Amino acid sequence: MVKEIVLANAPTGFPVIELGKADSTFEIKEVELLELQDNQLLLQTIFVSNDPAQRGWIQKDQNSDRAYLPPILPGDRMRAASIAKVLKSTSSSFKEGTLVQCYGGWAEQLVVNAKDAFPLPDLPGVSPSVFLGAVGVPGLTAYFGLKDVCKLQEGQVIIISGAAGATGNVAVQLAKHVLKASKVIAIAGSDEKCQWLREIGADVALNYKSSSFPNALVEAAKPSYADCYFDNVGGPILNACLSVIKRNGCVAACGAISAYNDPSQMILSNWAEIIINRITVKGFIVMDYYHRRAEAVEVISSAIKEGKLSVVGGETIVRCTEFKEIPKVWIRLFRGENTGKLVTQVAD
Amino acid sequence: MVKEIVLANAPTGFPVIELGKADSTFEIKEVELLELQDNQLLLQTIFVSNDPAQRGWIQKDQNSDRAYLPPILPGDRMRAASIAKVLKSTSSSFKEGTLVQCYGGWAEQLVVNAKDAFPLPDLPGVSPSVFLGAVGVPGLTAYFGLKDVCKLQEGQVIIISGAAGATGNVAVQLAKHVLKASKVIAIAGSDEKCQWLREIGADVALNYKSSSFPNALVEAAKPSYADCYFDNVGGPILNACLSVIKRNGCVAACGAISAYNDPSQMILSNWAEIIINRITVKGFIVMDYYHRRAEAVEVISSAIKEGKLSVVGGETIVRCTEFKEIPKVWIRLFRGENTGKLVTQVAD
């Protein structure tokens, strides 16, 4: 028998993380592993990815028609990207002992079909957890968001919120050092995060919790306003940014973490700016670009090798001593406690 | 001496329409008309246009940098499109007695440079007031909003809010009878307006004040959701529409009348739909298309002549017996009291 964590009660507001309560969002389950069939792998989970999007996947009463992935229902194992070690293999493509990427979820061990596991890209000298962050979904999101959604050009001004997060910090570095933005304005939630963002390439880094934030944002955007805004957070920060985007500028709507647990926070009193200044808001999901994954991995890997993209500081790895701690690490995402990619390590 | 109405106190909330109070938004002024110079016209205002956008022009503490027209400041005559009669002319292009279009504003009589007045398009059998509505700025807004912003194709499904308004009713008729949408879902604020919208081409017309509105909208959008949403109102209706726009669909952000007097009403709890369903929101201002005015006037005029676009019912003309009544008519726009274009007639 092995442990996994399943959805117990689909939340509408802030998830209840403590296990064992009547309204707990999650619960622990013991499951029996099936014998391997042909072309299957027995995996030991090593690293589990924590992503704001996971909150959307468990939202109560979703219209499955409109979701981009099937909703996770009570009783289902929590979905998460992961890095796992192959313990047994009946596939000629994977040797025992190698590491793979997959959507293994919150499971100690699990059996997957070989076609649902992927070898790690070749990038020596980095922790395998990087394939959940800068060279994983968050990094791809940053790359395609800048390149295809913002269509960021050399010399332009860009604002990036959630800038100290997994996607944000890669976006800041790619915008400045690879796509050659003339000014990167980064927004984050602490002075320490802002200091780090300046070190990795932000021309200006603003703490949105500071009372001077709205004015500082206006000053930072002078003299020409911003060509685009890469929005990871929604809410009051999106609202503030609408008033400093250039005429005919754009918003890449990537995430809205500020409102995932309370959508009523999405008050956009500056909406008229979208009309008056002919702003285009483009929602996007990185899955739509997966057919171009190799292109993004190549650009990001090269940037790492050339020293243009630092993964030092861009990652917070939390080692769980007990499997049941996984939800407690995950919820830190929504408290703004982590810097860079938040990864949970469940085994060595 | 002639009368004009000027801005007294720039509003932040709902305008104070009663004249003569300490906080009145407007006040009456008597002004002396200057002698005509060369190439000038003395005009008698006949019809004054009432447009939601005027509320934006008088908003307090605007950043003139970001406005699409210079803000109207206290002491300035209220800006409005108008149809006027030429009383005297020192221009060879305009004869006395003819009617012209201009931005004459809230003035009984005024002197303008001939280059700022335009002859009325040739369209026999309609009231000249139509050049402030279906064949004026609202009609052009409907045309370019559908054609260039929504890029509405034959056979598509479109939702139009503020559908009984000046822009909305033209959009409904053009979408259905000229651009051949398969389904036009119109949203308005009374059962009478909805009845009229069905008569002029709406496949479905929904009263947003009805308690069944949210469900009725979902039902109306079945089975395929809407390709685009022409948004004239913002606020809760925009929010509801976000959940019934097709994947990769679009919102043409044309106006937000629901929030002009109280921007805090712009609560978009469904914002995540923009991300999840890759929706594009495009703000636009009709001025950007003025160089293609002739194209729009041609399409709209032809539709009127061919009986595809009715201007009967699409216009509410209020005859003011006293000049000072102008603001009282204008404010009806924000109370949802008018059907179609609201025009104020100040002289015969």
In three state form, how does the secondary structure of chain B look? CEEEEEECCCCCCCCCCCCCCCCCCEEEEEECCCCCCCCEEEEEEEEEECCCHHHHHCCCCCCCCCCCCCCCCCCCECCCCEEEEEEEECCCCCCCCCEEEECCCCECEEEEEHHHCEECCCCCCCCHHHHHCCCCHHHHHHHHHHHHHCCCCCCCEEEECCCCEHHHHHHHHHHHHHCCCCEEEEEECCHHHHHHHHHHCCCEEEECCCCCHHHHHHHHHCCCCEEEEEECCCHHHHHHHHCCEEEEEEEEECCCHHHCCCHHHCECCCCHHHHHCCCEEEECCHHHHHHHHHHHHHHHHHHHHCCCCCCCCCEEEEECCCHHHHHHHHHHHHHCCCCEEEEEECCC
Assess whether A147 and A161 both reside in one domain: yes
Candidates A107, A89, A88; CA nearest to A47 is A107
C-alpha distances out from residue A39 to A32, A46, A93, A200, Å:
19, 21, 9, 43
- Cα torsion A76, A77, A80, A82 to 10°: value is -150
Are A285 and B263 a contacting pair at CB < 8 A? no
Q: What is the pLDDT of residue A229?
A: 98
| Substitution target from B241, B271, B273, B287 for chain A, most A beta carbons within 10 A | B271
C-alpha distances out from residue A275 to A84, A179, A279, B146, Å:
48, 29, 7, 15
In a domain, B309, yes or no: no
Assess whether A229 and A322 both reside in one domain: no
Q: What is the pLDDT of residue B312?
A: 82
Q: How many structural domains does chain A have? A: 2
Minimum-distance CB partner of A56 among B256, B272, B277? B272
Q: What is the pLDDT of residue B260?
A: 85
Are B259 and A271 a contacting pair at CB < 8 A? yes
Find out whether A285 and A68 touch, Cβ atoms under 8 Å: yes
At residue B300 the predicted structure's pLDDT band, cuts being 50, 70 and 90, is: very high
Q: What is the pLDDT of residue A65?
A: 87
Q: Cα(A170)–Cα(A140) distance, rounded to whole angstroms?
A: 9
Alpha-carbon torsion (A32, A36, A37, A43), positive or negative = positive
Residues comprising chain A, all counted: 348
pLDDT at residue A122 is higher than 90: no
Kindly report, residue by residue over B184-209, the tens digit of the pLDDT: 999 999 999 999 999 999 999 999 99
Q: What is the pLDDT of residue B56?
A: 93
Are B267 and A267 a contacting pair at CB < 8 A? yes
In a domain, A296, yes or no: no
Assess whether A73 and A6 both reside in one domain: yes
Cβ-Cβ contacts under 8 Å, B149 against chain A: none
Kindly report, residue by residue over A23-53, the tens digit of the pLDDT: 999 999 999 999 999 999 999 999 999 999 9
Assess whether B124 and B14 both reside in one domain: yes
Q: Cα(B25)–Cα(A246) distance, rounded to whole angstroms?
A: 31
Q: Which of residues 235-294 of B touch A (CB under 8 A)?
A: 243, 247, 253-256, 259-260, 263-264, 266-285, 288
Mean pLDDT of B8-33: 95
Which residues span the domain enclosing B143? 137-287
In a domain, B80, yes or no: yes
pLDDT at residue B225 is higher than 90: yes
Residue B290: how many CB atoms within 10 A of its CB? 13
Kindly report, residue by residue over B247-291, the tens digit of the pLDDT: 999 999 999 998 888 888 899 999 999 999 999 999 999 999 999
Assess whether B157 and B119 both reside in one domain: no
Candidates A338, A163, A185, A237; CA nearest to B271 is A237
- CATH number of the domain that A245 lies in? 3.40.50.720
Name beta bridge partners: B13.
none
Assess whether B122 and B14 both reside in one domain: yes
Q: Which helix (H) or strand (E) holds A282?
A: strand A280-283
- CATH number of the domain that A24 lies in? 3.90.180.10
Assess whether B282 and B142 both reside in one domain: yes
Kindly report, residue by residue over A185-196, the tens digit of the pLDDT: 999 999 999 999
Last residue of one domain, picked from the residues A244, A270, A287: A287
- In this prediction the ipTM stands at 0.94
pLDDT at residue B338 is higher than 90: no
Find out whether A222 and B66 touch, Cβ atoms under 8 Å: no
Q: What is the pLDDT of residue B346?
A: 95
What rounded mean pLDDT belongs to chain A? 95
Q: What is the pLDDT of residue B128?
A: 94
In a domain, B298, yes or no: no
Kindly report, residue by residue over A234-245, the tens digit of the pLDDT: 999 999 999 999
Output b/e per residue, A130-147; b: 16+ Cβ within 10 A: bbbbbbbbbbbbbbbbbb
Q: Which helix (H) or strand (E) holds A138?
A: helix A137-144
Cβ-Cβ contacts under 8 Å, A60 against chain B: none
Mean pLDDT of B111-118: 96
Tokens 């990871």 sit at which residue? A232
In a domain, B89, yes or no: yes
Å from B307 to nearest chain A CA?
32
Assess whether A214 and A269 both reside in one domain: yes
Last residue of one domain, picked from the residues B287, B305, B327: B287
**DSSP 8-state secondary structure symbol assigned to residue A146:** I
Assess whether B43 and B93 both reside in one domain: yes
Q: What is the pLDDT of residue B69?
A: 93
Instruction: Give percent of chain A above pLDDT 70.
Output: 100
Q: What is the pLDDT of residue A336?
A: 85
Angle (deg, nearest 10), helices B191-200 and B166-173: 40
In a domain, A295, yes or no: no
At residue A314 the predicted structure's pLDDT band, cuts being 50, 70 and 90, is: confident
Q: Cα(B158)–Cα(B252) distance, rounded to whole angstroms?
A: 11
pLDDT at residue A337 is higher than 90: no
Q: What is the pLDDT of residue B261?
A: 86
Q: Cα(A312)–Cα(A305) distance, rounded to whole angstroms?
A: 13
The SS3 assignment for A200 reads helix
Both tokens of B97, joined, read 């007695």
Assess whether B155 and B198 both reside in one domain: yes
Instruction: Give percent of chain B above pLDDT 90.
Output: 91
Assess whether A23 and A95 both reside in one domain: yes
In a domain, B295, yes or no: no
At residue B219 the predicted structure's pLDDT band, cuts being 50, 70 and 90, is: very high
Q: Cα(A348)–Cα(A332) distance, rounded to whole angstroms?
A: 22
CB-defined contacts A:B, below 8 A: 114
pLDDT at residue B111 is higher than 90: yes
**DSSP 8-state secondary structure symbol assigned to residue A209:** T
C-alpha distances out from residue A216 to A209, A240, A241, Å:
12, 11, 11
| Substitution target from B244, B275, B278, B282 for chain A, most A beta carbons within 10 A | B275
pLDDT at residue A259 is higher than 90: no
Last residue of one domain, picked from the residues A269, A287, A305: A287
- Residue B313 Ramachandran class (φ > 0 left, ψ -120 to 50 alpha, else beta): left
E-only strand ranges, A97-203: 99-102, 109-113, 118-119, 157-160, 183-188
Name beta bridge partners: A100.
A84, A119
Assess whether B146 and B282 both reside in one domain: yes
In a domain, B142, yes or no: yes
Q: What is the pLDDT of residue A313?
A: 82
pLDDT at residue A124 is higher than 90: no
What rounded mean pLDDT belongs to chain B? 95
Kindly report, residue by residue over B35-61, the tens digit of the pLDDT: 999 999 999 999 999 999 999 999 998
